[in-house]
A and B are shown apart, each in its own frame.
Chain A
Amino acid sequence: MTTVYIFKTAVSGLRAHKSRSALTILGIVIGITAIMLVMSLGEGAQNLILGQVRSIGPKIIAVVPGRQPKGPTDIFSIFANSLKQKDLEALQKKSNVPHANKIMPVVFGSESLAFGSETYRATIFGVTELFAQIYDMYPAEGRIFSEDEVKSYADVVIIGSKIKDELFGNDNPLDKKIKIKGRNFKVIGVLPQKGQFSFLNFDEVAVIPYTTAQQYVFGIKHFHRIAIEADEEKNVPQTVEDIKNTLRDSHGITDPEKDDFFIETQTEAMQTVSSITNILTAFLTGIAAISLLVGGVGIMNIMLVSVTERTREIGLRKAVGATEKNILTQFLLEAIILTVIGGIIGIVLGALLSFISSLILSNVLALNWTFTFPVQAALLGLGVATFVGLVFGLYPARQASMKSPIEALRYE
């Protein structure tokens, strides 16, 4: 019997019960669709977050105050004010951290901005003149503040595009004064529209000198972060070690377990993000796989019914010369065709749904979400569908192949 004919025979067997076949594959369709959707969205989420992490730049190292969170109670609780001016000065010494190219303290917080009767609550981002280079974020209009302005606690501000729209509309904001915590800040620049960038949305940020921010806006003496750019990417690990040693020295810490700061690098953040999204995707895929199992049992059930219904057909085929293998192949192929068709429909449906999701995410939620057809998931889905057909089709097919022809022909 030729392969093509085996195939035709199996297909005609299924076409005899179109609606039943369609309902049978529903479980497989749902399972594969779910797997496709989860894997596609998982990949999209990972790309999105990784893209944001990557946008920080591979040479940027962030020193964060406090103990690295090891449990929910640790977060933001211990030594949150451990980074001080003397740490900044220690890090700035070339002999301590030789590969540090740029060092910039960062303070941030949420405050209201006011211009005339308009107010807008934004993130105040206190940095130095280096921020433009470090974040590759140059004003679209106006200028950055200078080193002198940082040193002299100048009341100058560079505003994000959204703040400009909210406070000034179509008017030119440059040289206008906006009020933050009762102080008048001169607008010297407007940032380009960038959307979400790393941990910040620069469209909703007001950038001011960190000195002014510490003294007049937040009233603090510590930093929320120190950003350090290494001279070369390959020197990042060495620089991380140098920073740790310098800060331990500065804080009088001998036991690394008692560090009151921690270091974030892009590599590390990417690893963390990848492992979290991978675990999440695997978990959700596992849940989706349960529906495949249910679908497979459904296939087995229907195939068993089909075998019983077609007992006479099986008997006849055997009488005219079909071997057990012929019958086994026929019924197994029917099961596999069912699941593969289900798989293909599931792949198309899953791709379609994840495409629609990506449209919603990028247009409605304004995320920088890219749709990629998850080829891996599609191949996996097809493989799993075939496997389900094979596993759950085998038992009914064996039942069919072992039927005695006379019993089968006598069957009414």
Chain B
Amino acid sequence: MALIEVKNLEKTYIDGTETPALRGVSFSIKKGEFVAIMGPSGSGKSTLLHILGFLDKQTSGEYRFDGKTIDDYSKEEVARVRNKKMGFVFQAFNLLTRISVLENVKLPLLYSGIKESQWDDLAKKALDSVGLSHRLYYQPSQLSGGEQQRVAIARALVNNPEVIFADEPTGNLDSKSGQMVMTILQKLNEEKGHTIVLITHETYTAEHAQRIIRLLDGKIESDTLVNNRRKADHFVK
């Protein structure tokens, strides 16, 4: 069964005038896939990601995550699904500036129901897998952009989610840092089996995925497998 199933998804923003962002999008993503959603700005890719991440609701059409729609859940349960099954990585990192790296990674655990005694271990493990064990007690502002994004990835995977949604994760990074972020995402996909949905407008970045869905004006332009998939250098321990 597909983990993510989208049928005729439409989203219209009503803000004085009606602005259609998605105009009938259908696709499905299986567990363990690494999919890039590409498109120029205004193509509706961020809107799509928000709906996929249960952060927003479609205007019409259907979206099933793990067989269920957002309407099958109460508000509390939606928060729980986001907490347990989804991890988010944003272009702007969105780390809390006044707390340490370790505390930032622990953030999803606060809302998880997992015992507090295990939080440190889980967070350290997640930071270890992105190669930042030596930065536990740094403030985010003391880290480089690439390191900050790796902290954000550690935060996304600390609850061991089914899927990681990454919204332009390399958008604010230099190419070397971006490369490292892609390496980590590939590793998480291949070694840990996390499903990854990557949003990007760069073909180069998108080609790290197994499959690319191209959006244009709220519709799917193409949905193809990547032939010569780019493998990021595995220089991260």
Residue numbers of A with Cβ under 8 A of B are 1-2, 4-5, 9, 12, 15-16, 312-313, 315-326, 404-406, 409
Q: Contact mask B42-83 → A, CB, 8 Å, 1/0?
A: 000000001001011000000000000000000110011011
Which of A9, A312, A313, A409 interacts with B110 by CB under 8 Å?
Answer: A9
- CB interface residues, B 106-151, toward A, < 8 Å: 107-108, 110-112, 116
Q: Are B155 and A321 in contact (CB under 8 A)?
A: no
- Report which of B56, B80, B96, B116 forms a contact with A313, defined as CB distance below 8 A: B96
Q: Which residues of B contact A324 (CB under 8 A)?
A: 75, 79
Cβ-neighbour of B79 out of A2, A9, A323 (below 8 A) = A323
| Contact of B107 with A409 in the complex, beta carbons under 8 Å | no
- How far apart sit A325 and B82, CA to CA, in the bound complex (Å)? 15
Chain B contact residue count (CB 8 A cutoff): 25
Q: Which residues of B contact A15 (CB under 8 A)?
A: 98
Say yes or no: A4 contacts B116, CB within 8 Å: yes
- Chain B residues, Cβ within 8 Å of A325: 76
Indicate if the CB atoms of A320 and B155 lie closer than 8 Å. yes
Partner of B98, one of A1, A16, A312, A326: A16
Determine if B79 and A322 form an interchain contact, defined as CB atoms under 8 angstroms apart.
Answer: yes
Contact A323 B90 (CB under 8 A): no
Q: Are the C-beta atoms of A409 and B83 separated by less than 8 Å?
A: no
Q: How many A-B contacts if CB must be within 8 Å?
A: 65
Contacts of B80 in A (CB 8 A): 321, 323
> By the criterion CB–CB under 8 Å, are A12 and B55 in contact?
no
Q: How far is the CB of B58 from chain A (nearest CB, A)?
A: 13
Can you list 18 A-B contacts with CB-CB less than 8 angstroms, sorted by A residue number? A1-B111, A2-B116, A12-B98, A12-B99, A312-B94, A316-B107, A320-B111, A321-B82, A321-B83, A321-B84, A321-B159, A322-B79, A322-B110, A323-B79, A323-B80, A324-B79, A326-B110, A404-B56
Q: Give the complex CA separation of A324 and B80 in angstroms.
A: 12
- A316-B96, A321-B79 known; 15 other A-B pairs, CB under 8 Å? A5-B110, A5-B116, A15-B98, A16-B98, A316-B107, A317-B111, A320-B108, A321-B108, A321-B111, A321-B112, A322-B111, A323-B111, A325-B76, A326-B111, A404-B56
B34 neighbours in A (Cβ, 8 Å):
none
A319 x B88 contact (CB < 8 A): yes
